[in-house]
């Protein structure tokens, strides 16, 4: 058992799990949390001093330290973001300990394809169904069976109709395509530039700008991305509409495009855009 005494200013698991970036985890009331990554899971006990990871030190360093993005200096990044916009001071302070998880790339691709036009509880349900039906049983904690998320190989056997039977609706064809694409991958996507990676991902049918940005941010650790969904659009227009309009060829247009909001976010927040986006998302949800 690895005792890691880490304060909640640096790591706040409750806030991370509620931040909308991760869909597979368990909260054990009054005791702690279960985190899941590939074929690994860990029970993280919460006490007044901090967190205790119920795993070896080796596993903590090799898996959970990376998953939780603990190497990155969020204090420095938070200050950069506040310098860009002082209005985020309060939400960053209240959301202290939030981090961008580095999750499984295939899981992110599938999860965010599923996410289109679905509420967060519905996404969790569909994604968990997939894990229960096609993942592997990897553990048993506090009466909960823990499943891994299926790999592309696990899902290779499924037809489009199988996904429809599982209530994925029109996303069925997209899921089928994404699995096929993943099976046929023959190069290391991690070595690609942001632009090339984006180009590859967006070539999958059913994968557009928003899903690509989420996969790049939460799966590939590309923090220079700024996903625009309905929430972000509302928040960004509320905070920056006049500034965004100044950048447009025709500042009088009725509808501002997602890509224009994305450009502004990337320009303003640069390498911290992905993290800024999480704070903005939280800022908007609390209005």
Of 65-73, 80-88, 93-101, 161-169, the segment contacting DNA by CB under 7 A is 161-169
Min dist CB 156 to DNA, Å, is: 21
| 210 vs 231: CA distance, rounded Å | 12
Give DSSP secondary structure letters for the chain.
Answer: -EEE---TTT--HHHHHTTTS---EEEETTTEEEEEETTEEEEEEEETTEEEESS-HHHIIIIIHHHTTTTS-HHHHHHHHHHH-GGGHHHHHHTTT-------HHHHHHHHHHTTT--HHHHHHHHHHHHHHHS-EEEEETTEEEEPPPPHHHHTT--HHHHHHTT-TTHHHHHHHHHHHHHT--S-GGGS-HHHHHHHHHTSTT--HHHHHHHHHHTS---S-----HHHHHHHHHHHHHHHHHHSSSTT-SS--HHHHHHHHHHHHGGGHHHHHHHHHHHHHT-
Nearer to DNA, 117 or 286 (CB): 117
Q: Does 118 bind DNA (CB under 7 A)?
A: yes
Minimum CB–partner distance for residue 274 and DNA (Å): 11
Among 3, 87, 167, 267, binds DNA (CB under 7 A): 167
Strand partners, 53: 2, 44
Q: Considering beta carbons, is residue 21 or 272 the nearer one to DNA?
A: 21
Nearer to DNA, 140 or 170 (CB): 170
Closest listed residue to residue 287, CA positions, set 213, 227, 214, 237? 237
Shortest spacing between CB 173 and DNA, in angstroms = 7
Nearer to DNA, 54 or 233 (CB): 233
Cα(261)–Cα(281) distance, integer angstroms: 14
Q: Which is nearer to DNA, 139 or 169 (CB)?
A: 169
Under rule CB under 7 A, residue 120 binds DNA: yes
Q: Which of 19, 78, 103, 182 binds DNA (CB under 7 A)?
A: 19
User: What is the footprint of DNA within residues 187-206 (CB under 7 A)?
Assistant: 202, 204-206
Binding range to DNA, per CB under 7 A, among 46-54, 97-105, 183-191, 251-259: 251-259
Closer residue to DNA, CB minimum distance, 154 or 210: 210
Within 10 angstroms of residue 122's Cβ, the number of other Cβ atoms is: 13
Q: Per CB under 7 A, does 244 bind DNA?
A: no
- Interface residue with DNA, options 178, 232, 244, 276 (CB under 7 A): 232
| 14, 75, 185, 230: which one binds DNA (CB under 7 A) | 230
Q: Which is nearer to DNA, 31 or 128 (CB)?
A: 128
With CB under 7 A as the contact rule, the residue among 47, 122, 129, 156 that binds DNA is 122
By beta-carbon proximity to DNA, the closer residue of 151 and 278 is 278
Q: Is 95 in the site for DNA (CB under 7 A)?
A: no
**Closest alpha carbon to 25 in 116, 101, 112:** 101
Under the rule (CB under 7 A), what is the footprint of DNA? 19-21, 115-123, 164, 167, 169-170, 172, 202, 204-212, 227, 229-232, 253-255, 257, 277, 281
């Amino acid at each position: 058992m690895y005792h890691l005494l880490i304060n909640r200013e640096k790591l706040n698991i409750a806030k991370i799990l509620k931040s909308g970036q991760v869909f597979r985890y368990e909260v054990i009331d009054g005791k702690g949390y279960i985190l899941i990554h590939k074929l690994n899971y860990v029970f993280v006990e919460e006490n007044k001093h901090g967190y205790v990871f119920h795993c070896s030190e080796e596993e903590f360093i090799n898996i959970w330290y990376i998953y939780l993005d603990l190497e990155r200096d969020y204090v420095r990044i938070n200050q950069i973001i506040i310098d860009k916009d002082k209005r985020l001071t309060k939400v960053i302070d209240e959301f202290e300990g939030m981090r961008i998880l580095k999750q499984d790339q295939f899981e992110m691709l599938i999860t965010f394809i599923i996410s289109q036009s679905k509420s967060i509880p519905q996404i969790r349900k569909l994604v968990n169904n997939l894990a229960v039906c096609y993942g592997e049983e990897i553990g048993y904690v506090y009466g909960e069976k823990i499943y891994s998320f299926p790999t592309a190989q696990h899902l290779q056997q499924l037809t489009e109709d199988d996904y429809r039977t599982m209530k994925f609706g029109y996303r069925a064809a997209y899921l089928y395509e994404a699995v096929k694409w993943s099976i046929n991958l023959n190069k290391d996507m991690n070595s690609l530039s942001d632009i090339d990676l984006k180009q590859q991902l967006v070539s999958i049918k059913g994968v557009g700008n928003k899903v690509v940005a989420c996969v790049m941010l939460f799966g590939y650790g590309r923090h220079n991305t700024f996903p625009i969904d309905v929430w972000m659009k509302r928040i960004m227009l509320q905070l920056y509409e006049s500034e965004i309009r100044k950048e447009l060829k025709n500042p009088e247009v009725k509808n501002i495009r997602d890509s224009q909001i994305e450009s502004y976010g990337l320009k303003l927040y640069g390498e911290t855009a992905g993290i800024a986006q999480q704070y903005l998302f939280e800022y908007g949800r609390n209005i």
